[in-house]
Amino acid sequence: MPPESYWPTRSLCSVFQHRAVCDQMFPWRRRNVRLRPGRIVSATFTLAVGLVVGWGGTIMYNGMKSDDPDGMGAGLKQLFTDSQESEVANVLSKRATSTDPVRASFEFYTVLPDVERVVSIEETTPQTQPSQETVKQSVKNQDSNGYYMLQVGSYSKQSMAEKMKANLAITGFEPAIQRVSIQGQGQLFRVQVGPFATMGQLGKANRKLEQMGFKTLWLKVSKRP
């Protein structure tokens, strides 16, 4: 059994100043307890390592909290600060991309093919009655001017578009499904009725669809579908 004046026991017990704690950490102080020298050294080494790690951790923590650039822990503080700033910058960049005014104002009609354009209400309601000569000229140039289509619906699932097509076919129309790829939305399936050579034919078909409860989009195409 090591003597009572064994230097690790004496120096460390002077730190704790508590007999019960010393007896727990250094069992050889108690009577009738025999320990091997190897266990004594192991316990002392473990305690010393714990004290060194705790001391070093305290210094590093205080260095991170202080504003001294040369103090211990300043490098870790800078590392964590740079990492947090980088994460914040990435989040702000993603938010800026998602709230891009160009994307925010994105509409389905802005990506219609070049051969299509939406017909405005003003175009469908002439201010004056056209003359007979104007009507003949319009019929003569219908191939160059294009055709008109009525879009009844646009769906993300083809099954829904097929269902709408079947409902329109029962009422006497000859609908068709046009598949398009829209940026940010994927593929869309548009159900359209037509083509119509004149605005009069377009308006007649539209009135019938409105009576059935459908809201349509008027399109003008430069090429016959």
- Whether 210 and 121 share a structural domain: yes
- Whether 128 and 54 share a structural domain: no
Look at 184 and 73; give whichever has higher pLDDT: 184
- Whether 119 and 63 share a structural domain: no
Among candidate residues 32, 58, 88, the one where a domain is terminated: 88
Among candidate residues 57, 88, 119, the one where a domain is terminated: 88
pLDDT digit string, tens, across residues 141-178: 444 467 788 888 888 888 898 988 888 888 888 888 88
Let me know if residue 96 belongs to a domain.
no
Provide the number of structural domains found in the chain. Answer: 2
Q: Ranked by mean pLDDT, which of 55-64, 105-114, 194-203 comes out on top?
A: 194-203
Model pLDDT, residue 102: 38
pLDDT score of 121 more than 80: no
- Whether 128 and 177 share a structural domain: yes
pLDDT score of 135 more than 50: no
Let me know if residue 102 belongs to a domain.
no
User: Which residue segment(s) compose the domain that 44 sits in?
Assistant: 7-88
- Whether 132 and 82 share a structural domain: no
CATH code, 212? 3.30.70.1070
pTM of the model: 0.38
Look at 81 and 198; give whichever has higher pLDDT: 198
Let me know if residue 68 belongs to a domain.
yes
- Whether 133 and 197 share a structural domain: yes
Token look-up 């001294």 returns 68
Let me know if residue 65 belongs to a domain.
yes
Let me know if residue 192 belongs to a domain.
yes
- Whether 73 and 123 share a structural domain: no
- Among 29-33, 52-56, 123-127, 164-168, the minimum mean pLDDT is found in 123-127
pLDDT score of 126 more than 60: no
pLDDT digit string, tens, across residues 81-112: 656 666 655 655 555 454 444 333 333 333 34
- Whether 140 and 83 share a structural domain: no
Let me know if residue 120 belongs to a domain.
yes
At 43, the pLDDT band (50, 70, 90 cuts) reads: low
Among candidate residues 39, 56, 88, the one where a domain is terminated: 88
Model pLDDT, residue 107: 36
Amino acid identity for residue 198 in this structure = T
